[in-house]
Amino acid sequence: MYQKGRAWIELNMGNLKHNIEEFRRLLPFDCALMPAVKANAYGHGAALVAKALQEQGIQAFCVASVAEGVQLRLSGIKGEILVLGYTHPAEFNDLVAFNLIQTVVDGDYAKQLQNDGRRFTVHVGIDTGMHRLGVRWDHIEQIVEIFQMPNLKVTGLFSHLCVSDGNSVQERTYTMEQIHHFEYVTEELHRQGFQNFKCHLQGSYGILNYSQCCFDYARAGIALYGIYSAKNDRTKASADLKPVLSLKTRVESVRMLYHGEGAGYGLTYNAQGNRIIAALSIGYADGVPRELSNCGYVLCNGRMAPVIGRICMDQMLVDVTDIPQVKAGDEAVLIGKSGDLQIQAEEMAQWAGTISNEIVSRLGERLERVAE
């Protein structure tokens, strides 16, 4: 089946390998990567990405849900798979059947797992200051109780940093406090005789900005895909990361729009002078943000084509007046390179008023994923 007919994602697996090597260079030698492949590997395609990571020697992964964990197992992924979020008791069966590690999201949840009757492998979440999930870091007794629950096999302890992407004094101080709180919990557990558990704290920005930390795993997400959350972060970064994903589509039809005519739903664009416009076969159902309506660009034959009118569900319009000989069937690039030009996910995110994490993780099911 031809995969590049309508709209598709190309994955540069060489760049993924390069990014893994960059992270391994940054991190202490005994800290292993535990990539976040949740949300379909940030839109890249979970099975393709996890398999490529496994081939690079990665042996631990994290996902957001049981269903994502099951999908990885069914695609032949071995090793540890940690479910970072809440799992409903009705899905506990899959935790056991597919050998997934569940996060203890708080003290009550630990009791619920303990009282279920089956035996679960878990990592205990610690709230060191984000106040989203985990047992509070200063509730040591409660943490110890969880470690002693007979139906829980605790193989890990983790927390999450919430301002590690920031470089202000306040943000750096807060992150250092979170790190110290986490270290306090691990030391206290060691002191009380608990030894056989892995510790992990850093996501992408924790790795980039606090690479001196020494834990067993680092949960790299967005940056492993060669993408920074915001555009400015790339210039400041300590690593040379290369984007894995390109987002491409086809020109469906080219036509003349005469001076004064509108185009698209709501006729929100109005031609000043005669314009040549092209319809592309990709839209917001594929994950192109509707915020790009009359804003942002795509690349066509190595030139920039501004978006005109509203993004539709399956299509969008661009102005190709200044690009010679655009015709139906030509490629258009929304993220990636064309000729000497490049649009990064960070730029699209900026045009849409969001972060690149949201842009890529919302890329739709309908897009073909092609590994190259």
Do 202 and 218 form a contact (C-beta atoms < 8 A)?
A: yes
CB nearer to ligand PLP: pick between 203 and 289 = 203
CB nearer to ligand PLP: pick between 151 and 354 = 354
Among residues 6, 44, 219, 275, the one that binds ligand PLP under rule CB under 6 A: 219
Sign of CA dihedral 350, 351, 353, 359: negative
Select the span of 218-226, 267-275, 305-313, 362-370 touching ligand PLP (CB under 6 A): 218-226
- Verify binding: residue 222, ligand PLP, rule CB under 6 A: yes
Select the span of 19-27, 215-223, 270-278, 321-329 touching ligand PLP (CB under 6 A): 215-223
CB nearer to ligand PLP: pick between 69 and 203 = 203
State the minimum distance, in angstroms, from the CB of residue 209 to ligand PLP. 11
- Verify binding: residue 203, ligand PLP, rule CB under 6 A: yes
Dihedrals φ, ψ of 217, to 5°? -130, 160
Contacts of 99 (CB under 8 A, 6+ apart): 73, 81, 121
Residue 46 token pair: 């979970």
Q: Is 73 exposed, middle or buried (0-12, 13-18, 19+ CB in 10 A)?
A: middle
- Verify binding: residue 6, ligand PLP, rule CB under 6 A: no
Count of CB atoms within 10 A of residue 83's CB?
Answer: 26
Contacts of 370 (CB under 8 A, 6+ apart): 3, 4, 8, 9, 10, 11
- Give yes or no: 242 in active site: no
> Going residue by residue from 147 to 166, which x/- string records binding to ligand PLP, judged by CB under 6 A?
-------------x------
In the set 38, 42, 225, 269, the catalytic residue is 38
Among residues 11, 58, 84, 263, the one that binds ligand PLP under rule CB under 6 A: 84
Distance CA 127, CA 146 (A): 15
Among residues 33, 36, 110, 312, the one that binds ligand PLP under rule CB under 6 A: 36
- Give yes or no: 38 in active site: yes
Do 270 and 342 form a contact (C-beta atoms < 8 A)?
A: no
In the set 4, 78, 236, 265, the catalytic residue is 265
Any idea what the Cα angle at residue 159 is, between residues 212 and 187, rounded to 5°?
70
Positions in the binding site for ligand PLP (CB under 6 A): 36, 38, 84, 160, 203-205, 219-223
